Amino acid sequence: MTAVFYLLGVVLFVAAILASIGLHELGHMIPAKAFGAKVTQYFIGFGPTVWSKKKGETEYGVKGVPLGGYVKIVGMLPPGPGQGQAHARQADAATSRSGLSAGSVAGSRTGSAGSAAGAATGEVMVRRSNTGMFTQLISDARAAEWETIQPEDAPRLFYRLAWWKKVIVMAGGPTVNLLIAFFVFLGVFGIYGSHEVVADGGPPVIDSVSKCVIPYAESGRACRSTDPVAPAYQAGLRPGDRVTSFNGTAVTDWAQLRTLIQHNLSGHAVIGYTRDGTAMTGQTTTTVEARPSSDDPDDQTLKQVGFLGVSPASHIQVTHGGPIYTLRQMGTMTKDSVVSLVHLPVRVWGVAEAIVGVKERAADSPVSIVGGGRIAGEEISAKGFPLGDKIAGLLMLVGGFNLFIGLFNFIPLLPLDGGHIASALWEAVRRGFARLRRRPDPGYVDAAKLLPVAYVVASFLLVMGVVLIIGDLVVPLHPLSQ
């Protein structure tokens, strides 16, 4: 039965992520169509096509590898020098009739005699590329983009949209992910509440004593003969003992005791405690281990601190909240996600090292959809947890993935959505300065010139995906045991 629930958790998680991907792509497609751009494909997944159906000019379908999705918007790249003039002339005529991207189709001046002629005939010109060795790569990408474009498509090409329309189209996808995260978190915090384990007040009562020292990443497993004896067990501490002092310092609560233990590092420890009303003393030497240095569940950063091997008696504190509370919690999550994004390459490298056995996998390392599925399966199939806890855990996992995906896609690098947004904003800035300085319209930003950067970023994403998937299979995380 456990296997059935595990599979159910995996299926529910994957289905939720695929639905999120589908909604992300709708966030691009709906405004693109509303602004008159031509959308020819809407697919969930990559690789071979499993199912598709064409409705109007758009083909809708599902592909075999559920690791993403895409919407094909025609004309993402502007034409190169001497390319697409016929389309441009027809587009200018259609634009003057329809008002599409009014004021955004003036020719680009390149400083050559040909540019003056282009401006005179209303043709759209793009600055010549100076990328040297990448010229052929850019030319091939442009050719692939334009070989399926028909003359009648000219006024509906994406690059011809007004800059603010491009921003709305490209920001639509990740914004949908952030909205999904918000409503999922709102449902959890409003109905189930935010559950936090809080140590009981007063001098700490020991709830459990570790018999051995187990690495944090392996928490939850049984002791092995090779594991060192835990300092607390060696000192004779047992569940139910009330700690009253540590190295001569009176202890009033768990937070104080935790700090004293962590700062003791590998030093000698004299522990005063009471058992059944009798005052007793135990002596041991704390060890230095990688452990979270804070009780804050949002701060699980591992640090080398003193370790004793006791857990305090505690209770669950439940906090319910509405939209404002949810936004505050998302603010904290967003800050943590941004920090994770900044350190993403280092953390992916850490997973690679864990795969080959160089080091243990960090508890805060990133996971792929495979790892997310495993975590969801473990949460749903875990014994000893109420059904509400399991559902809330699954929903928080889905919300967390959407928050991270949304923020990740706003990174201003191609081929991510943020790269296209940055290009559109730069186009607005260039044209705005040109108007202020009474200079000729510089024309559209040529995103094709950034393709070398896009290929580097795409290569990193591919390698990252492979490393994380292998890591989730070889050295998976087990959050419930941590």
CB environment 333-361: b (16+ within 10 A), e (fewer): bbebbeebbeeeeebbebbbbbbeeeebb
Measure the CA–CA gap between 199 and 205, rounded to whole angstroms.
9
Scanning the structure block, which residue is given the tokens 């090292």?
353
What H or E segment, with its residue span, contains residue 302?
Answer: strand 302-307
Residues in the chain: 482
**Single-letter amino acid, residue 224:** R
Say which residues have a Cβ less than 8 Å from residue 415's Cβ, sequence separation at least 6.
Answer: 454, 457, 458
Question: Helix crossing, 2-34 with 387-409: angle to 10°?
Answer: 40
Scanning the structure block, which residue is given the tokens 């160089």?
358
Calculate the alpha carbon distances from 120 to 92, 108, 113, 127, 410 in Å: 12, 11, 11, 16, 38
Q: For the chain, give me the number of helices (H) and strands (E)?
A: 13, 12
Question: Helix crossing, 163-187 with 323-342: angle to 10°?
Answer: 110
- Alpha-helical segments (H) within 147-217: 163-187
SS3 190: helix
Sequential DSSP letters for 392-412: HHHHHHHHHHHHHHHHHHTSS
Tokens of 213: 């020292």
Calculate the alpha carbon distances from 322 to 191, 193, 312, 317, 399 in Å: 9, 10, 31, 17, 16
Annotated catalytic residue within 25, 145, 289, 427: 25
Residue 25 designated active-site: yes
What H or E segment, with its residue span, contains residue 14?
Answer: helix 2-34
Measure the CA–CA gap between 254 and 310, rounded to whole angstroms.
11
Measure the CA–CA gap between 123 and 322, rounded to whole angstroms.
54
Which residues form the catalytic set? Answer: 25
